């Protein structure tokens, strides 16, 4: 079976700067792959290369013939002068029946939103509607660029369960970008750590303990990441150099209570 997507040495420039400097990756059918990486590391650019919005400067991108992509962008600014109901939005660019629209909304936990204006939705509802629209194309590949932004924690946990469930029902592959490292790791088959190029990839546990990954996320990420590592320390008992990361966080908290 051929890969859905294969990138070899893909290079891309934005605003005169080389953002992707040789990305190699392969995505198989039905796989859930997560891209992690610091801000500005080219994650969104990579997604845009795959949908064909950013031209390659070098290397190659091969897509399976007839590949249908459902795309949820990181940002979608709807101009306030554009009146757009949820129902109408779901019918872009291909018109869908009322039944199909209702079913897609129901699927993502957004039943009954049809009549609302896109501009009036809450952040979480908006993300759900974006996902519903992406599903309506019956995609072979779902591309989600930080799709859980604006969702509360239970909401994003539900979201990842939904992704898993959708993969089973629709058999689609999922390529997603996320900063919620602890949740993402649990939800994906494979993790790619990106910083202009793929610095490391593999099963979540493997990536989390890779030195390249540590180099990128090792310091200054006391929050969710420390929590994640904490849990994993107990599971695997691997690596003692984490205490380093915890210390500044504690100092920080003490500083706050003193003040």
Partner 1 sequence: MLDDFLVRAALAGLGVGLAAAPLGCLVVWRRMAYFGDATAHAAILGVALSLAFDMSIFTGVLVVALSMALLVSTLSGRGYAMDTLLGVMAHSAIAFGLVAVSFVSGVRIDLMAYLFGDILAVGKSDLLVIWGGAALVLGLLCWRWQALLTATLNPDLARASGIDPERERLVLTLALALVVAVAIKVVGTLLIAAMLLIPAAAARPFARTPEAMALVAAVFGAVSALGGLQASLWFDTPTGPSVVCLAAVIFLGASLVDVLRRAAQGGGSQAK
Ligand X SMILES: Nc1ncnc2c1ncn2[C@@H]1O[C@H](COP(=O)(O)OP(=O)(O)OP(=O)(O)O)[C@@H](O)[C@H]1O
Stretch 11-50: interaction string toward ligand X, x if CB under 6 A: ---xx---x-----------------x-xxxxxxx-----
Phi, psi of 240 (to 5 degrees): -105, -5
Stretch 14-43: interaction string toward Mg ion, x if CB under 5 A: -----------------------------x
14 binds, among ligand X, Mg ion, partner 1, none (CB under 5 to 8 A by kind): ligand X
Assess 44 for contact with Mg ion (CB under 5 A).
Answer: yes
Q: Round to whole Å and give the CA distance between 87 and 91.
A: 7
**Residue 73 vs 110, nearer CB to ligand X:** 73
Assess 73 for contact with partner 1 (CB under 8 A).
Answer: yes
Evaluate whether 47 touches 31 at the Cβ level (below 8 Å). Answer: no
Stretch 43-62: interaction string toward ligand X, x if CB under 6 A: xxx-----------------
For residue 93, whether the previous peptide bond is cis, meaning omega lies within 30 degrees of 0, is yes
Q: Give the total of residues touching ligand X (CB under 6 A).
A: 12
What does the H/E/C string look like for 172-207?
CEEEEECCCHHHHHHHCCEEEEECCCEEEEECHHHH
Closest CA to 205 of 253, 160, 239: 239
Assess 97 for contact with partner 1 (CB under 8 A).
Answer: no
């Amino acid at each position: 079976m051929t890969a859905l997507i294969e990138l070899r040495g893909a290079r891309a420039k934005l605003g005169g700067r080389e953002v992707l400097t040789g990305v190699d990756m392969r995505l198989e059918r039905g796989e859930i792959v997560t891209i992690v990486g610091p801000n500005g590391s080219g994650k969104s650019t990579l997604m845009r290369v795959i949908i064909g919005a950013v031209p390659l400067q070098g290397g190659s991108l091969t897509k399976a013939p007839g590949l249908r992509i459902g795309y949820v962008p990181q940002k979608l600014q709807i101009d306030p002068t554009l009146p757009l109901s949820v129902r109408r939005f779901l019918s872009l660019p291909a018109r869908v029946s009322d039944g199909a629209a209702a079913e897609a909304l129901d699927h993502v936990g957004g039943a009954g939103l049809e009549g609302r204006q896109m501009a009036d939705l809450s952040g979480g509802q908006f993300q759900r509607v974006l996902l519903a629209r992406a599903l309506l194309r019956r995609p072979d590949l779902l591309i989600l660029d930080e799709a859980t932004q604006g969702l509360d924690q239970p909401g994003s946990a539900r979201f990842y369960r939904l992704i898993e469930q959708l993969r089973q029902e629709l058999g689609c592959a999922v390529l997603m970008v996320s900063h919620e490292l602890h949740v993402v790791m649990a939800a994906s088959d494979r993790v790619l750590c990106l910083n202009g190029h793929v610095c490391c990839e593999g099963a979540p546990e493997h990536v989390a303990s890779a030195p390249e990954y540590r180099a990128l996320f090792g310091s200054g990420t006391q929050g969710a990441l420390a929590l994640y590592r904490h849990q994993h320390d107990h599971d695997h008992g691997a690596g003692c150099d984490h205490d380093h990361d915890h210390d500044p966080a504690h100092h920080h908290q003490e500083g706050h209570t003193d003040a």
